[in-house]
Amino acid sequence: MRRRLIRIALILLFFPPLLAAVAGWLSGPAFLHPIRRELTPDLIREADASFAFTGSTREDFDVRAPDGVLLRGWKVRPKNPNGSWVLLFHGVADNRVGVIGQSEFLLRAGYGVVMMDARAHGASGGPIATYGWLERNDTHAMIDELVRSEVVRYANEQLRSGRWRLEPAEDADLQEPIQPPVPLPGAPLHIFALGESMGAGIVLQSAAADPRIEAVVAEASFANMREASYDYAGLRKYPWLGKTLLAPFSWTLLYRDEKLAGFPVAEVSPQKAVAARAFPVLLICDEKDVALPCRHSEMIYAAARGPKQLWVVPGAFHTAAYGFEPQEFRRRVLAFFVKTTSTRSQVCRYRNQFSVSTLCWRKVAGTDSAVSRLSKFQFHSSNFHFSLQCTGCCRASHSWLSRRTVSRRRTASAAIVSSLCSPPRGSLPSFFR
């Protein structure tokens, strides 16, 4: 009888971990291949109705990731733009329409928004989701394309309005593309990011890798992959069980995913990201979230080096903060972006140096008769490359670019001459490097 009891006790002790290990091994592929929520015509009509309500206009925004994956999304321009842009990131097994609610109040406040389907989600390509490992490179490419498209759009507007005109640049010598240490006219004034669940983890890791993201709002982010797997192993109710008796689920799940995907799971960590670079972060956790409980946001908050806020939303479930507290959600997010903008308005985003051109533009803009002309300043647009002319107060930050031309095949040399010094805005995309 005693031996039988011992045998039963051993079975009860070792069978659950063994079963958990098998379940984790079998679940590995599904974790990398989340269910796709297709972008149906009904969802597009729903989004268009929301944009029409705010008086905004959308355009398709496709970006080629560094590994060749095509990412699809929208770039939505508000009726009264303030010059800043917000990148919106949806959760796992969702698509860009999942953040349509957040886009509405941002558009009404004057922020342009970029809404992308993450890789392996919606209409975007990609065989697997990596929860930030590859997605942070995708974000970098998105910002490059956003800046490039806005600079080109601004240049085209100036040409159509007659403020700029094309002139032959016969004396320009062809050289390799260069990166000026000053922002380009027409580029975003500020770039922020907002994400929920998986998207929150992605934006935190993206901001650590790309300083052009000035501030992040992250709702219900995971702290790291291992910590998130404990919640799933504990059936989303008993994380302590996932860390003890059912821990083999986490071990085999992460081990198989690492072998299948070929990336280090331990490095997919928003917690490490906020410790790597100091940037403002507003963390939102939902009090009754069982998928990614508040301890994840608390761990990220403890590790963050930059200005940080943590808001616990009473009674809210996973990624439901906006539904439970819409007015407070809007107030906190907009106030957070405004505070970040005011803090950084006098500081150049690159290497914490004061932007001579930004400061001198403010001086010029404050006078009625001030005329400033830029020394030669290069960028390319579609099938042309341009040289922006400006001399005067901005010469100090632009003059070193004199007699430089960005060379491209089958393009014509041209120079843009402006009678007024356009306000330099935003940051330079990587294709100038």
Residue of 242 and 320 predicted with greater confidence: 320
What size, in residues, is the chain? 433
- 326 pLDDT band, cuts 50/70/90, is very high
Helix (H) or strand (E) holding 363: helix 356-365
pLDDT in tens, 414-428: 333 333 333 333 333
Mean pLDDT, range 122-137, rounded to an integer: 96
Percentage of the chain beyond pLDDT 90 is: 57
Cα dihedral 150, 154, 159, 161 sign: positive
CB 386 within 8 A of CB 416: yes
What pTM was computed for the model? 0.77
Domain boundaries, the chain: 162-184+360-432
Cα–Cα distance for residue pair 354/4, rounded to 1 Å: 78
Residues pairing with 88 in the sheet: 115, 194
Report the pLDDT value the prediction gives residue 21, as an integer from 0 to 100.
83
Q: What average pLDDT score do residues 220-241 get?
A: 84
374 strand-pairing partners: 390
Q: How many CB atoms are closer than 10 A to CB 327?
A: 9
Q: Looking at residues 112-129, what average pLDDT do you find? A: 96
Given a contact cutoff of 8 angstroms between Cβ atoms, the answer to whether 211 and 277 are in contact is yes
Region 179-183: mean pLDDT is: 56
Specify whether the CB–CB gap between 274 and 281 falls below 8 A: yes
- pLDDT category of residue 179 using cuts at 50, 70 and 90: low
Strand 377-381 versus strand 308-313 pairing type: unpaired
Please determine, for residue 28, whether its predicted confidence score (pLDDT) is greater than 70: yes
CA distance linking residue 219 with residue 329, whole number of Å: 11
Q: Which residue matches tokens 């809210």?
A: 316
Whether residue 400 is predicted with pLDDT greater than 70 in this model: the reply is no
Nearest 10 degrees: CA dihedral of 102, 106, 107, 113?
Answer: -80
Contacts of 175 (CB under 8 A, 6+ apart): 404, 405, 407
Nearest CA-CA partner of 155 in 400, 356, 382: 382
Say which residue, 140 or 261, is predicted with more confidence.
140
* CB neighbour burial string for 198-217, b if at least 16 within 10 angstroms, e if fewer: bbbbbbbbbbbebebbbbbb
- At 12 the pLDDT is 55
CA distance 337 to 347: 16
pLDDT tens string 328-349: 999 999 999 999 988 765 444 4
The pLDDT, as a whole number, for residue 22 is: 83
Point out the least confidently predicted range of 224-228, 349-353, 371-375, 377-381: 371-375
Confidence at residue 185, expressed as pLDDT on a 0 to 100 scale = 85
Q: How far apart are CA 301 and CA 275, in angstroms?
A: 10
- CA torsion angle for 267, 273, 275, 281 (degrees, to 10)? -160
pLDDT above 80 (res 228) = yes
pLDDT at 199: 97
Closest C-alpha to 92, from 30, 35, 40: 35
Neighbours of 375 (CB within 10 A): 20
Q: What is the pLDDT of residues 58-90, one digit of tens each?
A: 999 999 999 999 999 999 999 999 999 999 999
57 has pLDDT over 90: yes
- pLDDT per residue as tens digits for the range 189-204: 999 999 999 999 999 9
CA angle 76, 93, 50 (to 5 degrees): 30
pLDDT at 231: 87
Tell me: pLDDT of 363 over 60. Answer: no
pLDDT at position 200, please? Answer: 98
CA distance 103 to 76: 9
CA-to-CA separations, 187 to 76, 171, 431, in angstroms, rounded: 15, 28, 14
Q: Residue 377: pLDDT band by 50, 70, 90 thresholds?
A: very low
